[in-house]
Chain A
Amino acid sequence: MLTVGGVISFRGLFNWLNPYVYVPTMLVAPIFQILLFVYIGRSAGVGTDAFYLVGNAVQYASIPCLFAMANTIAGERWTQTLGIVLSTPANRVALFVGRSLPVIANGWFVAMFSLFVGGWVLGVDLPVSAWPGIALTIAIASASCTGLGLLQAALALRVRSTAVLSNIVFGVLLVFTGTNVALDSLPEWMATAGRLMPLTHAIEACREVVAGASLSAVAPLLLREGLIGAVFAVLGLAALRWVEAESRRHATLELQ
């Protein structure tokens, strides 16, 4: 159920899996975001191209992670399949974790693609030797952001709106994770909050890897990134459990 079920439900519920939606939102939009901030950086004379390229490419993983996770869980309300799914004996942890695996893979692909194409367009030198480290860092970033996606999906299930929430969380991550403004330059409280969010440590690690750092040098950052993601994933699973229990008590999900 973890893998086969995950992939089938991803295809069934993620309604952006259509080239007319996927290509513009997943492959073209991140390049615009990268270009926008690189040129802002250039004209303001702060930060290198690589700083903005890496920050925005990794941060853009939050679009697939947040939206796809919310769609594949809260989308059940539109297909009216939730009642049927919840009347099965399926283990809920395996069910929802299974659904998150394709989301993670997709988020990884989107960020890798953005980084690769963005680097090529801007002429930023990303050494071949750095790519294995980049791939691992982005995989961890995508997983931890999907952890937050699970929590957000539980909320979306309850409030019956996915896009609004995902957009807000995306905006928060864009500001707080040091994507375009280094944490040192943010007000203290924002930097502190940013350090508790997914992506922050992965972006920092990825910048160091691109600058030539070894994997062992960034291991502590990656560990913290993974830990934050795990905490959010556990919170998300607990929230989903609560939403289900609450619905059995108070009929809050209007299951068919």
Chain B
Amino acid sequence: MSILEAHDLRRTFTTTTGVLRRNRKQVEAVRGVSFAIEPGELFGLLGPNGAGKTTTIKMLITLLLPTAGSANILGLDVVRDAREVRRHIGYVFGGDRGLYERLSAQDNLRYFAELYAVPARDQRARIGELLELVGLTGREKERVEGFSRGMRQRLHIARGLLHDPALLFLDEPSIGIDPVGARELRATIAGLRSAGKTILLTTHYMFEADELCDRIAVLSQGELVAEGTPAQLKARVTAGSVVEVETFSGVGPADVRGKVDAVGALPGVRSVVVDDRPDGETVVVQVEPGVDVTAAVLGTLSGIRVGRVVTREPTLEDAYVQLVSS
């Protein structure tokens, strides 16, 4: 049995603007999303800003009612059996908020242990274990207001695990964390996975998703546009290659962005994206199999100073960019 099943979830928000003359606007944040998560799986939910990832999670963790569709966790309906569902899920979001700043790490955990009805006699041991797991042992007596972002994030994860939930939701846990901290965080998440936890993770870092996730769903404008293992998603563009051209156009008439459409129109080109670098740009061209477009691309970019040109295998990021920009 799947741990989580979502069937055609939808969520519409009504926003109003203006004080006197109220303008109502409907935003369809999630438009018919279905997926399932199997026990022990680390499931990635990817998608650009505003794609509807957090909204989907909020419906699953019972903070929002779906406008339509349904979902169940361990066979419990997230609307009808909300209270029971809450016993089996943990929720962690990224950023440095969501903790009681004036309290110590230990008291933050104790409070949530109370809310999750962890028996008083088990609390001390459980909190000790979790502090150890997230590497905060020795700092538990300090007030959270003095904690760095990475420490806060690890404390959040400890909090989400207090009641040993069957399913853990991690909504952008690595946001704003330095590379070393993010690496430690990934190790923690990987550790949870090998300990058998089922996890739903959202992130904007593709290498992170590639490294951690067993399966990934890509959400774009409220709809699932792809689902599969990282390898399967890459395979969607693997039948082909990627040409990367370094350019140094600066700003001006020879701006490389003005040529994107022309490059995109070349035969054999699937998509084109321009990434900024400190000293210029990188033009990333997805190419169909068996076609060599390098010369044509360089021809189209004539007038712009060009640096290194490489042809490489696609990454998960390439697959993602292609999925959400098509």
Q: Which of A15, A83, A89 contacts B63 (CB 8 A)?
A: A83
Query: Which of B87, B102, B110 has the most chain A CB within a 10 Å cutoff?
Result: B102
Name the CB-closest residue of B to A86.
Answer: B63
Closest to B97 in A: A80
Taking the closest CB of chain A, its distance from the CB of B79, in whole angstroms, is 9
CB-CB under 8 A from A241, the residues of chain B are none
Is B117 in contact with chain A by the CB < 8 A criterion? yes
- Shortest Cβ distance from residue A252 to the other chain B in the assembled complex, whole angstroms: 11
- Asked if A89 and B102 make an inter-chain contact with CB atoms under 8 angstroms apart, the answer reads no
Chain B, residue nearest A8 (CB): B111
User: At the interface, yes or no: A185 with Cβ under 8 Å from chain B?
Assistant: no
A159 to chain B, nearest CB (A): 15
Report the minimal beta-carbon distance from B119 to chain A, rounded to whole angstroms: 12
Which residues does chain B contribute within 8 Å of A83, judged by CB atoms?
58, 63, 91, 93, 98
Number of interface residues of B (CB under 8 A): 34
In the complex, B86 has a CB within 8 A of chain A: yes
The complex places the Cα of A17 from the Cα of B103 at a distance, in Å, of 12
Check B98 against A84 for contact (C-beta < 8 Å). yes
**B63, B65, B103: the one within 8 Å of A11 (CB):** B103
Which chain A residues lie closer than 8 Å to B225 at the CB level? none
Chain B's closest residue to A253 (CB) is B63
A55-83 near B? 1/0 per residue, CB < 8 Å: 00000000000000000000000011101
Q: Is B25 an interface position by the 8 A CB rule?
A: no
- B83 & A89 in contact (Cβ 8 Å cutoff): yes
CB within 8 Å of A: which of B192-228?
none
Tell whether, in the assembled complex, residue B117 and residue A89 are in contact, meaning their CB atoms are under 8 Å apart.
yes
- The answer to whether A248 touches B65, judged by C-beta atoms less than 8 angstroms apart, is yes
- Give CA–CA (A13, B64) in the complex, Å: 25
The CA-CA distance from A252 to B99 in the complex, in Å, is 21
Decide if A220 is an interface residue (CB 8 Å cutoff). Answer: no
B83 contacts A9, CB within 8 Å?
no
Task: Decide if B61 is an interface residue (CB 8 Å cutoff).
Answer: yes
Is there an interface contact between A87 and B91, defined as CB atoms closer than 8 Å?
Answer: yes
Whether A5 and B115, one on each chain, are in contact in the complex, defined by CB atoms closer than 8 angstroms, is yes
- Mask: chain A, 13-25; 1 = CB below 8 Å from B; 0 = not: 1010100000000
Residues of A contacting B110 in the complex (Cβ-Cβ under 8 angstroms): 4, 8
Of residues 224 through 264 on chain B, the ones whose CB sits less than 8 Å from some CB of chain A are none
Which chain B residues lie closer than 8 Å to A87 at the CB level? 61-63, 86, 89, 91
Q: Which residue of B lies closest to A88 (CB)?
A: B115
A90–B116 touching, CB < 8 Å: yes
For B120, what are the chain A residues with a Cβ–Cβ distance below 8 Å? 4
Q: Nearest residue in A to B83 (C-beta to C-beta)?
A: A89
Question: Quick check: B84 and A251 within 8 Å, CB to CB?
Answer: no
Which B residues touch A249, using CB under 8 A?
65
Q: How far does the alpha carbon of A95 sit from the alpha carbon of B83 in the complex, in Å?
A: 14
**Known A80-B98, A84-B159; further 11 A-B contacts with Cβ < 8 A:** A12-B101, A12-B108, A17-B102, A79-B97, A89-B86, A90-B117, A95-B115, A248-B63, A248-B65, A255-B58, A256-B97
Residues of B within 8 A of A (CB): 13-14, 58, 61-65, 83-84, 86-87, 89, 91, 93, 95, 97-103, 107-108, 110-112, 114-117, 120, 159
Closest 5 CB pairs of A and B: A12-B100, A5-B114, A80-B97, A89-B86, A90-B115
